[in-house]
Amino acid sequence: MAKIYLAKPYGFCSGLKKALSLINDCEKKYQHIYCLGELLHNPLVIKDLQKKGIKMIKEKDIDFLNNLSKEEKKVTAVIIRTHGISELILKKLENFGINIINTTCGYVKRVCLIAENLKKEGYWVVIVGDSGHPEVKTIKSFLAGRALIFKRNLNFKKYPKIGVIAQTTLAEDSYQEALVDIIHQGQPKELRIFDTICPEVKKRQKEVKKLAKEVDLMIIVGGKNSANTKRLVAIAKKAGCKTIWISTGEELKKYQIPFKKFGKIGIASGTSTPEEFVNLVIKNLKKEVTER
């Protein structure tokens, strides 16, 4: 019978746990709570938050908040999600006089601070990450015209001083590959490289890399729009392990996989996957392993 191995840590990352606890604290305090963008990349969790009355709004639509009356503003709050927000929008909200629940992750704050300092010291800053990701947009906002999004064979020669940072959820291997590409392009006068990958993300990636080599099947649990979950899937596949990616415990049945035929099954989860989801996967998997 199949043995199940759970990669740790699992469930929400510490940043999200803190964010959700902050939001929880003020659910009774405010009548209207808005979140700028989706709080996290997990549609089911988002649905739960919406049920509680939290509305997801887009940055471009925030102006209505300024038109609220003084009394309405008192009972309204805006959540800044863990990915952070541009300095410009934050200033705007502050000027609105609206309540702000800032849940920006500490690791994102750190990379923004590094970016800002690099800019002040005259560096051009290369961000290794996904240009469309909200975190990268936040970081960019601290760099004005000094940001370069990494791509292969970008010509760095015209920039004498270059700083390099990574999106906090980037895979370590991808960062390494990007750095080697930069080095191969010839040396700027000064090159400054910061390890800004979140230690928890790093630990999950490391665990998946290790576990995928030991088990016969890897199940990665997380939202299909979660970048860090996507990376765990890629890492498991790269290690040569048969890998499935599910969002919920129920999805397991869809695959029609004879789970009990596998000797060892590994489970890992993205940072925006609640612990309960993972527990449900384990529960359902145990059923599958014994029933089928």
Give the interface with a copy of itself as residue ranges (CB under 8 A): 172, 175-176, 179-180, 183-184, 186-195, 197
Q: Is residue 86 a known part of a binding site? A: no
CB of 150 to a copy of itself, least distance (A): 14
Q: Is residue 41 a known part of a binding site? A: yes
Given the residues 38, 135, 207, 288, select the one marked as catalytic.
135
Query: Smaller CB distance to a copy of itself: residue 66 or 176?
Result: 176
Residues whose CB is less than 8 angstroms from the CB of residue 88 and which lie 6 or more positions away in sequence, other chains included? 141
Round to whole Å and give the CA distance between 121 and 144: 13
Round to whole Å and give the CA distance between 114 and 194: 8
CB of 190 to a copy of itself, least distance (A): 5
Q: Is residue 272 a known part of a binding site? A: yes
Cis, peptide link before residue 9, omega less than 30° from 0: yes
Say whether 135 is catalytic.
Answer: yes
CB of 266 to a copy of itself, least distance (A): 23
Round to whole Å and give the CA distance between 66 and 99: 12
Q: Is residue 198 a known part of a binding site? A: yes
Locate tokens 């989860």: which residue?
A: 269
Query: Smaller CB distance to a copy of itself: residue 174 or 225?
Result: 174
Query: Smaller CB distance to a copy of itself: residue 115 or 285?
Result: 115
CB of 191 to a copy of itself, least distance (A): 4
Rg (CA), the chain: 21
Q: Is residue 168 a known part of a binding site? A: yes
Round to whole Å and give the CA distance between 189 and 21: 46
CB of 184 to a copy of itself, least distance (A): 7
Q: 139-143: list long-range contacts, CB under 8 Å, 24+ apart.
A: 139/84, 139/108, 139/111, 139/112, 139/115, 139/165, 139/167, 140/86, 141/85, 141/86, 141/87, 141/88, 142/87, 142/112, 142/115, 142/116, 143/115, 143/116, 143/118, 143/119
Query: Smaller CB distance to a copy of itself: residue 70 or 189?
Result: 189
What sign does the dihedral 58-61-62-65 (CA atoms) show?
Answer: negative
CA 138 to chain centre: 13
Query: Smaller CB distance to a copy of itself: residue 61 or 177?
Result: 177
Q: Is residue 83 a known part of a binding site? A: yes
Residues at the binding site are 13, 41, 83, 105, 133, 168, 198, 226, 228, 272
Residues at the binding site for [4Fe-4S] cluster are 13, 105, 198
Residues at the binding site for isopentenyl diphosphate are 41, 83, 133, 226, 228, 272
Task: Give the catalytic positions in this structure.
Answer: 135
Residues at the binding site for dimethylallyl diphosphate are 41, 83, 133, 226, 228, 272
